[in-house]
Amino acid sequence: MVEHDFRYTLFNPQHTLIECRALVPGRYQVTGNGGSMHKGDALLVTLKGSKDLSMRLTVESVRHLINPRGQWVAVASGPVFNELEILTWQVTCDQCDAVLDFEFAVDAKLGKKARQPAANARITELGWRSEGERHLCRRCQTEAQ
């Protein structure tokens, strides 16, 4: 299994993501150019409307097109979103007042009760620690150890 990075970047123009659309929740059709895509490979794709969020998809099937050369269409499985919502929140470290502006994705159909767990998961991904309403940045965590 190979991981292909198709997140939006201007540094790798020969590997471009043309389209990624949901067929049903958790199943996606991805069209791209470049790379040597195979069944079982992982794709990293940028979430539409986000500056830095991406999702990992697993290729279930792929069809390489003859024309245009290098283009392919894949069906892949990934995170289940009935209605994707991207939110931007801000937290402050309770020890040093460092500020973290971050984006996170949540299924809007789950309502507002799903926002806090999704935000906490994203804070943890970014290396911060969350304990109830308290937050600690990476630096303060290492100083505490």
Residues 11 and 66 placed together within one structural domain of the fold: yes
Residues 52 and 96 placed together within one structural domain of the fold: no
Neighbours of 29 (CB within 10 A): 13
What confidence score (pLDDT) does residue 40 get? 95
Q: Which domain holds residue 36?
A: 3-77
Give the total number of structural domains in the chain.
Answer: 2
Cα separation, 63 vs 44, in Å, equals 18
* Domain-terminating residue out of 52, 77, 102: 77
Residues 88 and 63 placed together within one structural domain of the fold: no
Residues 67 and 114 placed together within one structural domain of the fold: no
Local confidence pLDDT in tens for the 145 residues of the chain: 888 888 876 566 667 888 999 999 999 999 998 878 899 999 999 888 888 899 999 999 999 998 888 899 999 999 998 888 999 999 999 989 899 999 999 999 999 999 999 999 999 999 999 887 889 998 888 876 6
Residues 9 and 73 placed together within one structural domain of the fold: yes
Residues 50 and 92 placed together within one structural domain of the fold: no
Residues 16 and 70 placed together within one structural domain of the fold: yes
Cα separation, 8 vs 6, in Å, equals 6
* Domain-terminating residue out of 77, 103, 129: 77
What confidence score (pLDDT) does residue 14 get? 65
What confidence score (pLDDT) does residue 141 get? 82
* Domain-terminating residue out of 60, 77, 94: 77
- Tell me the CATH number at 49: 2.30.130
Q: Tell me the pTM.
A: 0.79
Q: 75-78 — which CB contacts under 8 Å span 24+ positions?
A: 75/23, 75/27, 75/28, 75/29, 75/30, 76/27, 76/28, 76/29, 76/30, 76/43, 77/26, 77/27, 77/28, 78/26, 78/27, 78/28
